[in-house]
């Protein structure tokens, strides 16, 4: 996984609450058996005027000129600012894949849906929770200032508006360390192989029906 330490980038505001994973990446693109190729279809139904399908050349499709991420001033944005409960709905990891492959490195919102929040960390995408007031302020500044860039420092756990506010955010230490170092979580878990085996042996003695393969 690509580590996340410090990032400075253009912020794009998506002023909607409860953005669901069906909106982030519609179902027809979930048929892919790969981990890549989702970026061009991020927010497909909002971003294009026509209906998208896998295998279509997206560069030839008509863009929705009113969709915020299509506005020239937000071209190249790497930080998404949005409203509460972002990423609700299905567990599809295709949603963070699509956002990351679109170019985002961080998402700022007052709250995230649990599974989506979790999935982001597995993909080097940093979800940042700020208060409603702070998010409101960023929306105001973002609308008023063309080309607003934010600085995000995971080690210090801060979002900085250059020359202005510094907002501190919370993140679990384990998640932070994994992201800072780009660790392979499976590799980390396998350090506890003896504990897992011991746990299984203990459970198999008290709840043998969980382990039918050990019968006879």
Partner 1 sequence: MTNFAQTSPQSPLQTQPRTLYDKLWNAHVVHTESDGTALIYIDRHLVHEVTSPQAFEGLEINGRKPWRLKSILATADHNVPTLGRHEGITDAVSRLQVETLDKNIEKFGVRDYFGMNDARQGIVHVIGPEQGATLPGMTVVCGDSHTSTHGAFAALAFGIGTSEVEHVLATQCLVAKKSTSLLIRLDGNVGRGVTAKDIVLAIIGKIGTAGGTGYAIEFAGSAIRALSMEGRMTVCNMAIEAGARAGMVAVDDKTIEYLRGRPYAPQAAQFDQATAYWRTLHSDIGAVFDRVVEMDAAQITPQVTWGTSPEMVASIAANVPDPAKETDPVKREAMERALQYMGINPGTPIAEITIDKVFIGSCTNSRIEDLRAAAGVVNGRRVASNVKLAMVVPGSGLVKRQAEAEGLDQVFLAAGFEWREPGCSMCLGMNDDRLSPGERCASTSNRNFEGRQGAGGRTHLVSPEMAAAAAIAGRFADVREIL
Residues that bind partner 1 (CB under 8 A): 16-18, 20, 22-23, 26-28, 30-35, 45, 51, 54-55, 83-85, 88-94, 96, 111-115, 118-119, 122-123, 172-175, 185-186, 188-190, 192, 195-196, 199-200, 203, 206-213
Quick one: 156 or 203, whose CB is closer to partner 1? 203
Using alpha carbons, list the distances in angstroms from residue 205 to 86, 113, 195, 197.
Answer: 43, 37, 16, 13
Environment class of residue 98 by beta-carbon count within 10 Å: exposed (0-12), middle (13-18) or buried (19+)? Answer: buried
CB 41, min distance to partner 1, A: 12
Q: How far is the CB of 172 from partner 1 (least distance, A)?
A: 6
201 vs 204: CA distance, rounded Å: 5
**CB 158, CB 167: distance < 8 Å:** yes
Residue 82 CB, nearest distance to partner 1 (Å)?
Answer: 11
Q: DSSP alpha helices (H): ranges in the chain? A: 21-24, 44-47, 94-102, 114-121, 132-144, 173-181, 185-189, 193-206
CB nearer partner 1, residue 8 or residue 32: 32
Whichever of 76 and 208 has its CB closer to partner 1, that residue is 208
Minimum distance between the CB of residue 198 and partner 1, rounded to whole angstroms? 8
| Backbone φ and ψ of 95, nearest 5° | -70, -55
Give helix then strand counts, H and E, for the chain: 8, 7
Spatial contact of 160 and 166, defined as CB atoms under 8 Å apart: yes
Task: Give min distance, CB of 146 to partner 1, in A.
Answer: 23
Report residue 85: phi and psi, to 5°: 60, 35
Of 20 and 160, the one with the shorter C-beta distance to partner 1 is 20
Least CB distance to partner 1 at residue 161 (A): 22
Please, which residue, 27 or 75, has the CB nearer to partner 1? 27
Phi, psi of 200 (to 5 degrees): -60, -40
* Residue placing its CB nearer to partner 1 in the complex, 10 or 107: 107
């Amino acid at each position: 996984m690509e580590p996340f330490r410090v990032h400075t980038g253009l912020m794009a505001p998506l002023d909607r609450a409860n953005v669901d994973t069906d909106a982030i990446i519609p179902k027809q693109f979930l048929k892919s058996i790969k981990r890549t190729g989702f970026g061009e279809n991020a927010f497909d139904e909002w971003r294009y005027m026509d209906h998208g399908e896998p295998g279509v050349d997206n560069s030839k499709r008509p863009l929705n000129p009113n969709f915020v991420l299509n506005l020239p001033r937000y071209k190249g944005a790497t930080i998404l600012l949005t409203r509460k409960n972002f990423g609700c709905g299905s567990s599809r990891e295709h949603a963070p894949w699509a956002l990351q492959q679109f170019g985002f490195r961080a998402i700022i919102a007052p709250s995230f849906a649990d599974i989506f929040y979790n999935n982001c960390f597995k993909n080097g995408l940093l979800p940042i929770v700020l208060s409603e007031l702070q998010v409101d302020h960023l929306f105001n500044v973002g609308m008023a200032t063309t080309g607003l860039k934010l600085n995000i420092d995971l080690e210090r756990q801060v979002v900085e508006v250059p020359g202005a506010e510094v907002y501190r955010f919370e993140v679990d230490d384990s998640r932070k360390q994994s992201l800072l170092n780009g660790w392979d979580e499976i590799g980390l878990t396998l350090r506890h192989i003896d504990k897992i085996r011991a746990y299984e042996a203990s459970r198999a003695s008290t709840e043998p029906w969980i382990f039918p393969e050990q019968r006879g």
